[in-house]
Amino acid sequence: MEAWKPRVKSVWKPCISTNVSAAGSNSNGYFIIEANGGLNQQRLSICDAVAVAGLLNATLVIPIFHLNSVWRDSSKFGDIFDEDFFIYALSKNVNVVKELPKDVLERYNYNISSIVNLRLKAWSSPAYYLQKVLPQLLRLGAVRVAPFSNRLAHAVPAHIQGLRCLANFEALRFAEPIRLLAEKMVDRMVTKSVESGGKYVSVHLRFEMDMVAFSCCEYDFGQAEKLEMDMARERGWKGKFRRRGRVIRPGANRIDGKCPLTPLEVGMMLRGMGFNNSTLVYVAAGNIYKADKYMAPLRQMFPLLQTKDTLATPEELAPFKGHSSRLAALDYTVCLHSEVFVSTQGGNFPHFLIGHRRYLYKGHAETIKPDKRKLVQLLDKPSIRWDYFKKQMQDMLRHNDAKGVELRKPAASLYTFPMPDCMCKEPDPEPETDPA
């Protein structure tokens, strides 16, 4: 099939370097954080906390997960990630403990919320931590940051970046129940895609009720949808969208490429790019808004389409139901091992997944991030010819491929761009010499 591209021949390999040693008995104190948000927002908080603990020569306490009003997942760290492996993988560089020692807890009447909660600036520099946080840590023996989200700058010294790399790409692996089912799901996708050599496409489809509501976009332009979206916005973000001076402009949002793509739009894009109806597509998503209505055309275009619910049995999924982060971890793993990954709306899921795929696949793995402004212009032309649309989509696909290996820029995150902080370029192979 014309849309499958050979993997870019890259010469990058994982290469994590850090000269930070675990503090041992010389620890400056205990660093406690509370991670909020969904799976990958929590992942960001955890990895940055490892880096800060190394910077402060502190002992990190296994992060506490905050129950988020949107995600509504009561899972603890050990329900999602392999706690013992996390501690082991970091043991040479950062001390990690499952909980505070009894003597420390006793000082705070066994109530962690009694430990001073430091209010830190977003994107704080290492100097800020050393000047403002370290003295408090040394004085109190334990400090807490709740919530700890986006609290460390992208640009930090190489040895601290190394801790971020180690935490994200090596130490954080999913808990065994998630890992075992996710591996089965990947195997099933590969088996089902035997005609394409085990290759499949994964799509991160952000068309859940909360995403549609937050985007302030319109889809069927009816009064019933408007009332439904107003109620959803008020439920999830009380008053945020009714503040004085706030004007919602759905049309402008769409023209600006800010609206989540519908399943139909994703299907048209992929078919235009050359993926035919025999392509195995995995859709990673939560509960799709009006799924019966909106998913039908995508299933018609890609009859082999799979989701968590079709790939795993109800019995296999039962332990994960009601836990959005654990379900997202299954999606993450299936997308991680796909030949092509399609990001339709941005956010932390593709932010981490794209970087993880680069780390696993020698610096480059095929990712489709459509130019949504251009796509909307084309989709909103009722008289557009299919051959013209198809040419535009194939140009868009070529543009995605042309980027190849991308190095991290100073203001970018290594979680998306692991090179050169987490990977090394292998030397070019020696040219073969003529034995004669």
To the question of domain 14-173 being in CATH 3.40.50, the answer is yes
Which CATH topology does 178-207+260-405 take? Rossmann fold (3.40.50)
Query: Which residue, among 366, 183, 176, has the nearest Cα to 270 in the 3D structure?
Result: 366
**What percent of the chain stands above pLDDT 70?**
94
What pLDDT was estimated at residue 55? 96
DSSP notation for 201-249: EEEE---BHHHHHHHT--SS--HHHHHHHHHHHHHHSTTGGGSTT----
**In the block, which residue shows the tokens 């980027």?**
403
**Average pLDDT score over the chain:** 92
Structure pTM? Answer: 0.93
Query: Which residue, among 222, 330, 233, has the nearest Cα to 283 in the 3D structure?
Result: 330
Q: Which of 32-41, 69-78, 186-195 has the lowest mean pLDDT?
A: 69-78
**What percent of the chain stands above pLDDT 90?**
78
Q: Which of 25-29, 99-103, 116-120, 340-344 has the lowest mean pLDDT?
A: 25-29
What average pLDDT score do residues 205-224 get? 91
Q: Where are the domains of the chain?
A: 14-173, 178-207+260-405
CA distance 35 to 42: 5
pLDDT tens digits for range 163-206: 999 999 999 999 999 999 999 999 999 999 988 899 999 999 99
What pLDDT was estimated at residue 436? 44
Please check whether the two domains, 14-173 and 178-207+260-405, share a CATH topology: yes
CA distances from 300 to 263, 271, 281, 295 (A): 11, 12, 12, 9
